[in-house]
């Protein structure tokens, strides 16, 4: 039954391999907790059983976010069983997960990423030019790590890049003239330093990049530029979104640029922007920084 469900996620829902592995692990953990040995026992699960699993997960130190993600896997599975006509009622119908902790996205300050400050971090050779372009694409477009790795030379055209996002959804992102020139210059250097590859970003041997490699590179350069505790490609995505809002971008526009499915995912950045507005008000208004 699980195998059919995972095939459904793969071919109908078009979930990523990472997401499918997470769903599979969550379901296996659930069946192990209940010591389920056959499908009949799995179909007999009720809401009390699910609640006991939630309690066990929290007692084991799982965060609310982690618990809710596992519940989402379980909900999707039982929803699929109903769709297939195997069940007429989901045991999760009465289940509410714990409230997620609200944590604001980590982002860098504009001054930290000023071109005249970070320019000296990168060398003039192939690797330095590639690394700088990766850094700038993350910061200037807000693309995800997986989206950057998947970029091909054909996805770039003057003034824009085509990105394949979650669930194979394409979006077009406009880029600046300077960034466009940087891509052209990099492609020219790439042709003389590596083996031929359709992918835009490659290793020195011409092979496609992998996530750990990109993470290490961005972590290194952010360490040079900022004092942030968290330093990853996603921090640059958060930084892009926050700086866009701080400079007047609308939520709908930002939603489309980031490839979010709905505004709820984009609205988290308004908290950071409000903090920026508060800071500007305190500094700029004659009475903003005075207490009565």
**Per-residue pLDDT tens digits of the chain, which is 292 residues long:** 788 999 999 999 989 888 999 999 999 999 999 887 777 788 889 999 999 999 999 999 999 989 999 999 999 999 999 999 999 999 998 898 988 776 778 999 999 998 888 989 999 899 999 999 999 999 999 999 999 999 999 999 988 999 999 888 999 999 999 999 999 999 999 999 988 899 999 999 999 999 999 999 999 999 999 999 999 999 999 999 999 988 888 899 999 999 998 898 888 887 766 666 666 666 665 655 544 4
Is 269 an annotated catalytic residue? yes
In a domain, 287, yes or no: no
**160 and 222 co-located in one domain:** yes
**Rounded to an integer, what distance in angstroms lies between the CA atom of residue 247 and that of residue 277?**
10
Q: At what angle do helices 126-141 and 211-225 cross, to 10 degrees?
A: 80
Using alpha carbons, select from 59, 43, 58, 61 the residue that is nearest to residue 97. 58
**43 and 133 co-located in one domain:** no
**272 and 127 co-located in one domain:** yes
> Encoding tokens for residue 64?
């609310």
In a domain, 91, yes or no: no
Is 260 an annotated catalytic residue? yes
Is 281 an annotated catalytic residue? no
Is 152 an annotated catalytic residue? no
Residue 100 pLDDT: 79
Q: What CATH number does the domain containing 34 carry?
A: 1.10.150.130
**135 and 278 co-located in one domain:** yes
**63 and 125 co-located in one domain:** no
In a domain, 267, yes or no: yes
Residue 27 pLDDT: 93
Cα-based distances in Å from 138 to 13, 200, 206, 275:
27, 14, 21, 23
Is 69 an annotated catalytic residue? no
In a domain, 100, yes or no: no
Which of 70, 190, 237, 243 is labelled catalytic? 237
**233 and 116 co-located in one domain:** yes
In a domain, 89, yes or no: no
Residue 92 pLDDT: 93
Up-side HSE of residue 33: CA atoms within 13 Å toward CB?
18
Which of 162, 166, 193, 217 is labelled catalytic? 166
Which of 15, 78, 221, 269 is labelled catalytic? 269
Using alpha carbons, select from 217, 277, 215, 216 the residue that is nearest to residue 245. 277
What CA dihedral angle connects 129, 135, 140 and 142, to 10 degrees? 140
Residue 255 pLDDT: 94
**217 and 265 co-located in one domain:** yes
**30 and 121 co-located in one domain:** no
**Rounded to an integer, what distance in angstroms lies between the CA atom of residue 141 and that of residue 148?**
10
**150 and 227 co-located in one domain:** yes
In a domain, 291, yes or no: no
* Number of domains observed in the structure of the chain: 2
**199 and 265 co-located in one domain:** yes
Residue 116 pLDDT: 83
Is 82 an annotated catalytic residue? no
In a domain, 75, yes or no: yes
Residue 275 pLDDT: 63
Range of the domain at 150: 111-282
Residue 287 pLDDT: 59
Which of 51, 109, 208, 234 is labelled catalytic? 234
In a domain, 289, yes or no: no
Which of 65, 144, 208, 217 is labelled catalytic? 144
Q: What CATH number does the domain containing 182 carry?
A: 1.10.443.10
């Amino acid at each position: 039954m699980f195998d059919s469900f995972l095939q459904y996620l793969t071919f109908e829902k078009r979930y990523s391999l990472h997401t499918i592995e997470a769903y599979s692990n969550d379901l296996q953990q659930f069946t192990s907790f209940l010591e389920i040995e056959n499908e009949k026992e799995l179909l007999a699960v009720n809401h009390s059983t699910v609640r006991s699993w939630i309690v066990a997960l929290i007692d084991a130190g799982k965060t609310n976010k982690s618990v809710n993600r596992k519940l989402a896997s379980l909900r999707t599975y039982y929803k699929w069983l109903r769709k297939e006509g195997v069940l007429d009622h989901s045991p999760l119908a009465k289940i509410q997960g714990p409230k997620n902790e609200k944590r604001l996205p980590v982002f860098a300050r504009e001054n930290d990423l000023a071109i005249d400050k970070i320019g000296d971090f990168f060398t003039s050779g192939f690797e330095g030019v590639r690394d700088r372009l990766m850094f700038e694409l993350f910061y200037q477009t807000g693309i995800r790590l997986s989206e950057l790795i998947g970029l091909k030379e054909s996805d770039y055209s003057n003034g824009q890049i085509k990105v394949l996002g979650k669930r194979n959804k394409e979006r077009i992102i406009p880029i600046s003239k300077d960034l466009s020139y940087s891509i052209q210059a990099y492609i020219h250097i790439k042709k003389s330093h590596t083996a031929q590859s359709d992918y835009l970003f490659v290793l020195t041997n011409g092979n496609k990049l992998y996530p750990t490699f990109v993470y290490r590179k961005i972590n290194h350069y952010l360490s040079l530029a900022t004092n942030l505790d968290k330093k990853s490609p996603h921090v640059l995505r958060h930084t892009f979104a926050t700086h866009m809002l701080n400079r007047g971008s609308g939520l709908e526009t930002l939603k489309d640029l980031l490839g979010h499915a709905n505004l709820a995912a984009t609205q988290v950045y308004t908290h950071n922007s409000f903090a920026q507005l508060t800071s500007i008000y305190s500094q700029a208004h004659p009475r903003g920084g005075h207490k009565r």
